[in-house]
Structure 1
Amino acid sequence: MHKRFRFWMAAGLCWLATAAPAQPAAPSASAIEQQSRALMRASDAVLGVRAQAVDGARSARTLGADRQGSGVLIGNDGLVLTIGYLILEAEQVELVTDDARRIPARVVGYDVATGFGLVQALSPLPQPPAPLGSAAALQADEALVVVSGGDGGAVGPAQLASRRAFSGYWEYHLEDALFTAPPRGDHSGAGLFNLQGELVGIGSLVVNDALGPGKGRAPGNMFVPVDLLKPILAELRERGNTRASRRAWIGVNCVENDGELRIVRVNDDSPADVAGLQAGDRIVRIDGVAVDKLEALWKRLWSGDRAERAVELEIEREGKREAVTVQAVDRAYTLRRAQGI
C-alpha cells in the first residue's frame, strides 16, 4: 500500500467526482481511470518533511526543535514546496518517502509574506513533480483531495468550505486563503489537489470556523493557495526570500475579540519585549490610527517602505492608556541559520 487509505482512490473516486457541484452526469469509466492516474501521480509527489532547528532557534520555543510534516515535489530538480514553519531556522532537513527512505535536503527559501517554504533534495527523486493548478478556479463546495507524505502519509477527501481573507495572530495575513473540511491533523505542509491531480494549496492550520465567521463551529483546515507561489517562485529560489517579506516585525501574538485587540504573547528579546509590552495589553492605536481588527493592525504595521522603523502604539493596560514606541526590525534578521548558510 503506497499510502494509507490508497484503496480509497479506486473505491471513493467515483463519489468524489459525482459530489462536485454542477456535474451534469456521472463520469465515464475512462474519465474515472484518468482521474485516478492523475491523483496517483499527485500522491506520489507528496513526501514527508523532517527538520531539526539550529541550536538556539527562537522558533523552537513555540514550534519545537524537531518538526515533522509534508511537502510536495514541484520541480524536476528535486524542489519541494512545504509550509515555512516546518523549516524555519532549520539546521537539518530530510525528505521521507512512502517506503521510509530518508533523503537529505537543503533549505532553499522561506517567504514570510505567504508562509511558503522551499527545500531541495540532495539526491535524485524518481517520481515526477506535481503540476501546479489554480486555486482561483475552484468552485464553492468543490471536491478535493488532501495528501500527506512520509511513511505515515495518508490520502483523503476534502471539500472546499470557504475562501476568504485570513489574519493570523503571529503577524500574518493572506488576502485569499482556502478553508476545507473535514479537518486533518496531518495538515502541516500537506498537498491540496483538485480532481485533475493539480496542486492548489499547501496545508497550514487547523481551524474551527472553516465556513467563515458567524457561521457556527465548523472544524477544518486552512491552506495557502498555490497561486501565491507562482509570481514569487523565481525570486524565492534565487534570494531565499522575497521583497514582500522585508517588512516590519515587532514580535507579538494578538487576538481579536469583540472589537478589541489583545496581546496574548510577547516573543522573548523581540522589539515588543524590549519596549515593555506585555500579555494582556490592549492595542488601541498604531501610528495614530485606531485599530480593532488584526488585518488593520498588521497592514498598518507593514505600511511604508522600511522594515526598520519606529512604530508608535497606544495601549491600554489595567484601564490606563499609555504610548509606547517600538523599534520594529526586519524579521529575516532575527532568524538563526545553520553554520555556513
Structure 2
Amino acid sequence: MGFIDKDIRPADDGAITDAYSRTVAGVVDLVGPAVSRIERLGAGAGHGSGFAISSDGLIVTNNHVVETAKAVRITMPDGLVTEGRVLGRDVDTDIALIRADSGVGHWARLGDSKNLRRGHIAVAIGNPLGFEWTVTAGIVSALGRSMRAASGRLMDDVIQTDAALNPGSSGGPLVSSGGEVIGVNTAVIQGAQGIAFAVASNTANFVISEILRYGHVRRAFIGIAGDTIALPRKVALAAGTSSSTSVRVRRLEPGGPAARGGLREGDYILAIGGTPVGGVDDLVRLMGGERIGQATEFLIFSVDGKIETRTLLPVARP
C-alpha cells in the first residue's frame, strides 16, 4: 500500500500554488495595461476587447467586434479614451486591426504559438459582460483545432483553452506564462463549460502583416464553385491518393483562371501542387496569397474519365 508523506505535501502544494499565483499576477501586470475596451461608433452598437501591439496605437481585436464599423471608441485601463479607425479586417480569421488616434503607454508582444504545448498556462484578459479588465486563467487544452468563421471558411490552428470567456471577452489576448500573447480570444461554445477558443498568434501576425501592407488579406482565386463528394475507389487508387473524398467542379466563372486552364464542370480536383484535396475546405486552405500569379499544378479526374494535370494561374480573390 502506498502512502503520502504528510510533512511534505502541504509545503509542496503551497509552493506550487504560490508560484502559480505569482506567474498569473506577473502576466496581468505586464499585459493588462495594454488591453482596451472597444466600442463601435455609428449604427450597430456593440463592444468587445482589444490589445495594443505597438506604442503608436496599433490595436488587435476580432472582426466580429468591429463588424462593418469604420471608427471605434477605445478605452484604456489608465483612463485614456480615444477614437480609432479600422485599418482592415479579415472575416475568414476573425481578426481586425485598428489604429488609435493617439499613442498608447503600454503594449503587448505577440509570441510564437508554435511553441505551445497542451497544459501550458493560459491567461485571458478582457471585458466580459461589462465587467471591465477581467482576468481568468487556465491551461491550453488542445492545439490545432478547426472552427468555422462567420464567412463559412474553416479556420485552422485554433487554440482551445479552459480559461473562462464570455461575451465581451472577444478580441482580448490569451497570454502565456512568459507574458507573450499566444492567441486572440474569439469564441465560446454556448452551454459548455471550460471550452473556449482563440485564434493562434501566428495566424494573427500573418493577418496583421497583410493588412498593414495591402489593407486586406490576399487569397488566391481560380473561379470555381465546387462540392465535397465521395471519390470512387478506383479513381483514388489510380491517382495514388488515400483520400475517400474530393472536390467536384459544379460551376466555372467564365474567363476565370480555372476556365482558362482547361477545367470543366464535373471534373474532380484530386490535388493542388502535390497536396491531396479531400474537400472544399482543403481547396480553400491551399489557395493562400502565395499562389497569386504562380503557375500551380492541379491533378484532376476529368469528365472524360482520365487522370490529368492542369496548370492554372490563380489571381487575387476579389
Q: Does the aligned pair in 2 maintain the 1:286–1:297 contact within 8 Å?
A: no
Match of 2:205, SS state, is coil
Q: Structure 2-normalised TM-score?
A: 0.61
**Higher CA-based Rg:** 2
Once the 2 structures are TM-superposed, how far is the Cα of residue 300 of structure 1 from its aligned partner? Answer: 3.1
Structure 1 residues 301 and 136: alpha-carbon distance in aligned structure 2, compared to 1, 3 A threshold = closer
CA distance in 2, matches of 1:112, 1:286: 30
CA distance in 1, matches of 2:14, 2:223: 44
Match of 2:82 among 103, 110, 113: 103
RMSD over equivalenced CA pairs, Å: 4.1
CA distance in 1, matches of 2:266, 2:186: 28
Q: How does 1:177-326 map to 2 (within 5 A)?
A: 177-185=158-166, 186-207=168-189, 219-244=194-219, 288=268, 296-300=279-283
Match of 1:140 among 118, 133, 150: 118
Instruction: Give the AA of the match of 1:144.
Output: A
Match of 1:119 among 91, 94, 98: 98
CA distance in 2, matches of 1:15, 1:42: 27
Match of 1:160 among 120, 124, 140: 140
Q: How does 1:321-336 map to 2 (within 5 A)?
A: none
Structure 1 residues 110 and 246: alpha-carbon distance in aligned structure 2, compared to 1, 3 A threshold = farther
Once the 2 structures are TM-superposed, how far is the Cα of residue 244 of structure 1 from its aligned partner? Answer: 2.8
Once the 2 structures are TM-superposed, how far is the Cα of residue 187 of structure 1 from its aligned partner? Answer: 2.9
Once the 2 structures are TM-superposed, how far is the Cα of residue 115 of structure 1 from its aligned partner? Answer: 2.3
Match of 1:192, SS state, is strand
Once the 2 structures are TM-superposed, how far is the Cα of residue 232 of structure 1 from its aligned partner? Answer: 4.5
1:44 aligns with 2:25: no
Instruction: Give the AA of the match of 2:153.
Output: Y
Structure 1 residues 197 and 17: alpha-carbon distance in aligned structure 2, compared to 1, 3 A threshold = farther
Match of 1:158, SS state, is strand
Structure 1 residues 96 and 130: alpha-carbon distance in aligned structure 2, compared to 1, 3 A threshold = same
Structure 2: gaps (5+ residues): 1-11, 226-264, 271-277, 293-315
Structure 1: gaps (5+ residues): 1-13, 20-25, 55-64, 210-216, 251-284, 307-329, 334-341
- The aligned residue for residue 89 of structure 1 is 68
Q: Deviation digits for residues 97-140 of structure 1, max 9, x if unmatched?
A: 236653100011112443211001102322x2111112221221
CA distance in 2, matches of 1:219, 1:286: 44
- The aligned residue for residue 239 of structure 2 is none
Q: Structure 1-normalised TM-score?
A: 0.57
Q: Deviation digits for residues 71-104 of structure 1, max 9, x if unmatched?
A: 0100111000111122231133111223665310
Instruction: Give the AA of the match of 1:107.
Output: V
Quick one: higher RCO (CA 8 Å, sep 6+), 1 or 2?
1
Structure 1 residues 107 and 36: alpha-carbon distance in aligned structure 2, compared to 1, 3 A threshold = same
Match of 2:54, SS state, is coil
Q: Does the aligned pair in 2 maintain the 1:51–1:87 contact within 8 Å?
A: yes
